[in-house]
Amino acid sequence: MLSVSDLTKVFGGFTAVSNIAFEVKEGEILGLIGPNGSGKSTTFNLISGALAPTRGSIRFGGEDIAGLPANRIAHRGIARTFQIPRPFRRLSILDNVALAAFYGHAEHPAREKAYAYAREVLKLVNLPSDPAARVDGLGAAGLKKLELARALATGPKLLLADESLGGLDESEMNQAADMLAAIRKERGITIIWVEHIMGVLMRVVDRCIVLDYGEVIAEGRPDEVAHDPKVIEVYLGTDAADVQKTVADRAT
């Protein structure tokens, strides 16, 4: 469904992403992991059109979308969330999501339809769809849900979930992971999931790609990646045993 090859982004003299290549199959959840500054978010920004690549191609559904503006990529069916939530703070929660439902489709639906769809999505993520509900009242977990709801409201085929779950407690993290799994299962949406904390991600993803210094250093099933010596060296370190245990638990 998505095929990235030779993708490179240079900022001045700094190469944030270098010759990345990977594929995403329809219906899978792909984990994109790596230490801070390894190029995960840049990769997302390139795919979603927030940044234009220096070089390389991004093919989505057979067409090259590299360098298209963000709004056109959204219309093609790729939605994203932001690592640090970026809600429209002075609008209601419902308006936040309804705007995505309205503008997220190249042919803008009728306004009532957009609002009806927004309510449906808000219900899915357990947020209030009451027009009086403001963004101000939301905590870290609520803002994450709003990011997700807004992305889903555009009706994506592919969801880029930039989920730094660091600010959440363990049960909230698991909830978020379960929600992504449910979205894939119920809506058939393909997901690329970026995460710093590997344990929770490993429970849900089908496949992982590990980035380091802007390059892909490993790729494979969670159990393979968790035992990859290179991944353990640059990234997992002393957490390796925990992550391996999570993956093993999942198998049983």
Partner 1 sequence: MKWAALVVLALAPLAGMGNYPLHLLIMCLLWGFVYTSWAIMGRLGMVSLGHGAFLGIGAYVVVLLWNHAGISPWLGTPIALVLTAVVAFVIGYPCFRFKIVGHYFALVTLALTEVARLVIVALRDQTGGSLGATPNTALADSAWSLGALQFSSKLIWFYIILVAWLAGLWIWGRVDRSMTRLALEAISQEEDAAASVGMNVTRLKLGVTLLSALMTCFGGVLYAQYQLYVNPETVSGIGISLQIVFGAIVGGMFVRLGPTVGAAITLLLAEVLRLAIGHDVHGLDTTIYGLMLVLFIIFMPKGILGAILEALEKRRAAKTAAATA
CA distance 46 to 50: 6
Among residues 10, 21, 50, 197, which is the contact residue for partner 1, using CB under 8 A?
50
Q: Please say which residue, 82 or 235, places its beta carbon nearer to partner 1.
A: 82
Among residues 25, 111, 185, 221, which is the contact residue for partner 1, using CB under 8 A?
111
19: left (phi over 0), alpha (psi -120 to 50) or beta: left
Among residues 39, 104, 142, 214, which is the contact residue for partner 1, using CB under 8 A?
104
Q: Please say which residue, 35 or 109, places its beta carbon nearer to partner 1.
A: 109
E-assigned strand segments in 25-54: 29-33
| Residue 129 engages partner 1 in binding (rule: CB under 8 A) | no
| Residue 38 engages partner 1 in binding (rule: CB under 8 A) | no
Among residues 59, 75, 157, 227, which is the contact residue for partner 1, using CB under 8 A?
75
Among residues 18, 43, 48, 190, which is the contact residue for partner 1, using CB under 8 A?
48
Q: Is 169 exposed, middle or buried (0-12, 13-18, 19+ CB in 10 A)?
A: exposed
Cβ atoms of residues 59 and 115 within 8 Å = no
| Residue 189 engages partner 1 in binding (rule: CB under 8 A) | no
Reference 31, options 162, 120, 157; nearest CA is 162
Q: Quick one: CA dihedral 88, 51, 200, 150, positive or negative? A: positive
Closest approach of partner 1 to the CB of residue 225, in Å = 29
CA distance 189 to 234: 31
Place of tokens 């003299």: 13
Q: Please say which residue, 98 or 234, places its beta carbon nearer to partner 1.
A: 98
Place of tokens 């101000």: 136
Closest approach of partner 1 to the CB of residue 75, in Å = 6
Closest approach of partner 1 to the CB of residue 53, in Å = 17
**In 3-state terms, what secondary structure has residue 18?**
strand
For 210, residues 6+ apart whose C-beta sits below 8 A from its C-beta are: 33, 34, 216, 217, 218, 219, 225, 228, 231, 235
Closest approach of partner 1 to the CB of residue 188, in Å = 20
Cβ atoms of residues 126 and 161 within 8 Å = no
Q: Please say which residue, 106 or 241, places its beta carbon nearer to partner 1.
A: 106
Binding residues for partner 1, rule CB under 8 A, total: 34
CA distance 234 to 218: 11
| Residue 90 engages partner 1 in binding (rule: CB under 8 A) | yes
| Residue 4 engages partner 1 in binding (rule: CB under 8 A) | no
- Of the candidate spans 26-34, 105-113, 213-221, 242-250, the one that interacts with partner 1 by CB under 8 A turns out to be 105-113
Q: Which residues bind to partner 1, rule: CB under 8 A?
A: 48-50, 69-71, 74-75, 79-80, 82, 86-91, 95-96, 98-100, 102-106, 108, 111, 114, 150-151, 153-154
